[in-house]
Amino acid sequence: MGSIKSLKYASESSDEALEKRPQESVIIESFEEEYEEYLQLKAYYDENEAAHRRLIRKLDMRLLPILSLLYLLCSLDKANAANAKLFGFLHDVPMTSTQFNLALMYFFFTYGSCELPSNIMLRRLGPRIWFPFIICVWGVITACTCVIKNYGSFVAIRLALGCAEAGLYPGAYFVLSCWYLPHELQTRMGIFYGANTLAGAFGGVLAYGVGDLDYHLGWRAWRWLFLIEGCITVFFGLVTFFILPDFPYAFKQSWLGGDEVRYITLRAKYHTGRNPPDLKFKWSDVRASLKDWKTYTIMMMFWWGGSVPTYSLSYTLPTMVENLGYTAIKAQALTTPPYIFATIVTISVAYLSDKYKTRMKAIMFSYTMGLCGIIILMISVHYSNLYGLSYFAIFLAAAGYSAQAPGIGAWISNNVVSPTKRASTIGFMMAWGSIGGGSIGSNIYIASEAPTYPLGFGISIAATVIGAMLPCMINWYLLRRENLRRDTLDEKAIRTQYSPEELSDMGEDSPLFRYTL
């Protein structure tokens, strides 16, 4: 897009002057002047829908493909152990099914423990530096898995993989929350998270293809699986350095025009009003995230309604399908359709949530769909002639528990203003979801209880209802109550009582802020 000739910037009087001034040196001291500049740019883009769509499309094409691809690789490298198990992994690397499940559980200890520190590093270094580093590291670790020979080395690999992979999921959610407005966010998070569900589909197809390499050059198929996935990951980690942009307020976005850079920068700061958050990193914001009650209600939802059923399903789905009467290789292929369906549902629910500007309803709908799938599956697996119904229930469970995740990420991102606090909140939320949800989810579907899995189904149902749906309603009720209270306050009196700097420091605690419901 060319320069916007109808606009008058506060610090310049002509388009020529705007083109001449270096973007990196543009510093406007007054919040009011910046805010007026933002309003002028916003008015232009509101009136020129084609220009606005073109700008958002540029953001989408720059951010979503690479982040989604990286998350697909992350999900593959994290969950490919379930596929390897069907190709003789437990025989070649002597261990019991219990030891195998424990090794999967240990992964989540380092994965969860490193999510908050990783998001802090991301906030300090920027995604263009931090992401390529952690991606290449976990790619090398995945490739090295092909040469392990005993249980101890498998545990060491899983612990190291957890450290390296911890930064991508919470980091990508934070990066997206910095670039997109609240009513744009869940759709993009849904597209991004769809890569996780597609990973289940792609993982099954890849494992099916790698199955033909079984005993090629003396290697079992599971060794080829780890080696191929690891090499692919390292390659795309190197590519990320040249493609992924930094934060929108970095003033170094050469892939956008001058007007577009300025508008994206200013809307990231002022979309909540004339009092922008402090963009500097502060440890006090990290501590504030740990003291905020919203962090804990959202964390409960992500833990019990997301991580527990999602991880348990991803790790046992191939075996579950095999228990319906299919061969191991065919079971790998049949895991693909439920994940494709889950991807479609995830993106659709996210789009409708943004369109109607509601988070709670979308999340509760997703929980309900997943819960219905688990209940139907729990009943139907007792009857061998109902394998078609069982397979249908897997579709519902996979879709419901996938669709809730972008809603939770968007809800907390919309309601935490400070970038540092938001990064910390997302990291802390996902840390507990990973440690608690991953460690529990990878152990509740016990092989000796197949195919009815009474413990696994029972815990999934209880976790969804008590651990997720109830906190979701509590979170909605408390936010709504606070919005109603703030609606009774007088804005003029508030601005008299507090300075602009004080209102900025308050973030979402400002009486002028309204929570997204």
How far from 391 is each of 149, 320, 335, 395, CA to CA, in Å? 35, 9, 10, 7
Domain edges within the chain: 49-271+281-509
When mean pLDDT is compared across 23-32, 41-50, 86-95, 287-296, the lowest value belongs to: 23-32
Specify the pLDDT at position 196.
72
Q: What is the mean pLDDT of residues 4-22?
A: 38
Flag whether the pTM goes above 0.75.
yes
Question: CB neighbours (10 Å) of residue 509?
Answer: 12
- Convert the pLDDT of each residue in 470-514 to its tens digit: 999 999 999 999 999 999 999 999 989 998 888 888 989 999 999
Q: What is the pLDDT of residue 474?
A: 97
**Looking at residue 329, what is its pLDDT?**
58
Q: According to the model, what pLDDT value does residue 84 have?
A: 82
Predicted local distance difference test score (pLDDT) of residue 15:
40
Confidence check: pLDDT of 381 > 90? no
In the prediction, which pLDDT does 25 show?
Answer: 37
pLDDT tens digits for range 51-82 = 999 999 999 999 999 999 999 888 877 777 77
pLDDT tens string 257-289: 878 888 998 898 888 887 788 778 888 999 999
Residue 220 predicted with pLDDT over 90: no
Can you give the pLDDT at residue 265? 87
Identify the residue with better confidence: 454 or 195.
454
DSSP secondary structure string for all residues of 94-150: T--HHHHHHHHHHHHHHHHHHHHHHHHHHHHH-HHHHHHHHHHHHHHHHHHGGG--S
Pairwise pLDDT comparison (69 vs 329), residue with the higher score: 69
Give the Å distances, CA to CA, from 483 to 74, 295, 469, 492, 517.
38, 18, 21, 17, 9
User: What's 49-271+281-509's CATH class?
Assistant: mainly alpha
Q: Is the pLDDT assigned to residue 330 strictly greater than 80?
A: no
pLDDT at 463 over 90: yes
- Report the C-alpha gap between 494 and 481 in whole angstroms: 19
Mean pLDDT is lowest, of 101-110, 234-243, 308-317, for 308-317
Kindly state the average pLDDT of the residues 460-466: 93
3-state secondary structure of 25: helix
Secondary structure class of 263 (helix, strand, coil)? helix
Res 11 pLDDT > 80: no
**Cα dihedral: 307, 310, 313, 315 (round 10):** -60
Q: Higher-confidence residue: 32 or 429?
A: 429
Average pLDDT over residues 311-338: 69
Mean pLDDT to the nearest integer, 340-365: 95
- pLDDT at residue number 10: 35
Regarding predicted confidence, which is higher, 257 or 430? 430
Radius of gyration of the CA atoms of the chain, in A: 24
Residue 286 to residue 305: CA distance in whole angstroms:
25
State the chain's mean pLDDT as an integer: 85
| CA 341/CA 332 separation, integer angstroms | 16
Residue 422 clears pLDDT 70, i.e. is over it: yes
Whole-number pLDDT of residue 20: 40
Per the model's pLDDT, the better-predicted residue between 459 and 310 turns out to be 459
pLDDT of 199 higher than 90: no
Residue type, 466: I
Q: 318 pLDDT band (50/70/90 cuts)?
A: low
Q: Indicate if the pLDDT at residue 353 is higher than 90.
A: yes
Q: What pLDDT is stored for residue 487 in this prediction?
A: 95
Rounded to an integer, the average pLDDT of 249-260 is 76
Looking at per-residue pLDDT, the higher value among 81 and 6 belongs to 81
Q: Is 49 helix (H, G, I), strand (E, B) or coil?
A: helix
Taking the C-alpha atoms of residue 274 and residue 174, their distance in angstroms, rounded to an integer, is 22
Q: Tell me what pLDDT residue 251 has.
A: 57
Per-residue pLDDT tens for 153-190?
Answer: 999 999 999 999 999 999 999 999 999 999 999 999 99
